[in-house]
A and B are shown apart, each in its own frame.
Chain A
């Protein structure tokens, strides 16, 4: 028995499937919570400025959270060891940014209800890529296929029902509808394809914390480029950001919550694969809805029929998540995953024993990470300083808020963080 397996038996024996499911559900809760701060400030600003503000917050958090959890030495060593994956991480960040921009046009042309339903098919796209490139679901029986495909379909359908029931429909110009549908479908394809680099990195033993640190360069770079393009120059874009300065704190806060949700999503993609991980994190729609309805009172004028649809859509999503949660990969499918991992190891001359250990949340050379450095405190303090400064100049939002519901939802979201974080730490030490 090797060191990694001995380490695994010494710790509480939580299956990687259960860990991945817990991470997927925590991702849904935090990605949904990330919508809350942005709801306070989206009025009257260009969608590109809103996105840029959030991505800037994401950029700050993406450096500090991984550094806090594992230290820069570990991140540098891990990135250097799998240097070939940097191009994939940057590419994934760019895919995210282009998809996000496409959603702006989709919402403008066909409305949120149709657009959301269409781009939510990203989980089906991810499932396809996972099957095609990484042997996900190969070797599984009809039971697992039914649970995963049925669960994914239920989550897509549930999200579509929720979007239909809650979106404020506007008149759609028929000439623009086709382009709007194409934009939404395009966003779904891009967001589904973005998971190819995720899965490739994790099958090669890369740590999710190192992956997101590189990913964020592609994300911020592409967001800046697209923002500058649509605002006819960086100068114009920054002039708009300057106007939005009093609300940047809320966007940064949304970005920070988004990073935590995304990290859980990355761990879900690592431990249960993209076919099962994406639909679980797509339950964020349910949480976004809960924040909107309970905290911001968005459903005050909703008809009884629409409220019934909301309940039906939510139940569908929960049933879908339960189905996927129960679809653990059998030994025959895990053997197929191993074949995909072996292919990566041969292709890029990686140490297969070490990669296997890292993929299973163990590291044969944990002692090599070299500990922490004193100067790591500088970027931490800088990030904290940015948040404090933005908080100091922030304008208090005028939107009325139900404080008691906000506290309850905040509490639930923090429970997800505590449970997900503790499980990850105890089982994998954030590997």
Chain B
């Protein structure tokens, strides 16, 4: 994968929104346990 594409992925807010929600959801799971 080209470096420019990798940079585009890393700076893409549409990736970070789901990642943050996933992290919050996983934290909630751990609390529930």
Contact = CB atoms under 8 A, between A and B. Distances in A.
Interface in A358-398: none
A186 B9 CA distance: 26
Contact of A98 (B5, B29, B31): B29
B18 A197 contact: yes
A84 B21 contact: no
A85 B19 CA distance: 14
A101 B26 CA distance: 10
A84 B32 contact: no
B8 to A, nearest CB: 5
| Minimum-distance CB pairs A-B, first 9 | A193-B21, A105-B32, A98-B25, A190-B25, A186-B28, A193-B18, A347-B8, A196-B18, A186-B25
Contacts of A83: 1, 5
Given A84-B8, A193-B18, 5 more contacts: A91-B19, A91-B22, A95-B18, A133-B17, A226-B29
24 contacts: A83-B5, A84-B9, A87-B9, A88-B14, A88-B15, A91-B18, A95-B18, A98-B22, A102-B32, A105-B32, A129-B17, A133-B14, A182-B28, A183-B32, A189-B21, A189-B24, A190-B25, A193-B17, A193-B21, A193-B22, A196-B14, A196-B18, A197-B18, A347-B8
A87 B15 CA distance: 9
Interface of A: 83-84, 87-88, 91-92, 94-95, 98-99, 101-102, 105, 129, 133, 179, 182-183, 186-187, 189-190, 193-194, 196-197, 200, 226, 230, 347-349
B26 to A, nearest CB: 6
Interface of B: 1, 4-5, 8-9, 12-15, 17-19, 21-22, 24-26, 28-29, 31-33
Given A84-B8, A200-B14, A179 B21 contact: no
The residue among A84, A95, A349 with the most chain B CB atoms within 10 A of its own CB is A84
Nearest to A95: B22
Given A101-B29, A186-B28, A348 B18 contact: no
Contacts of A98: 22, 25-26, 29
Given A179-B31, A348-B8, A190 B1 contact: no
Contacts of B26: 98
B11 to A, nearest CB: 9
A183 B25 CA distance: 8
B17 to A, nearest CB: 6
B17 A196 contact: yes
A84 B19 contact: no
A94 B28 contact: no
A84 B5 contact: yes
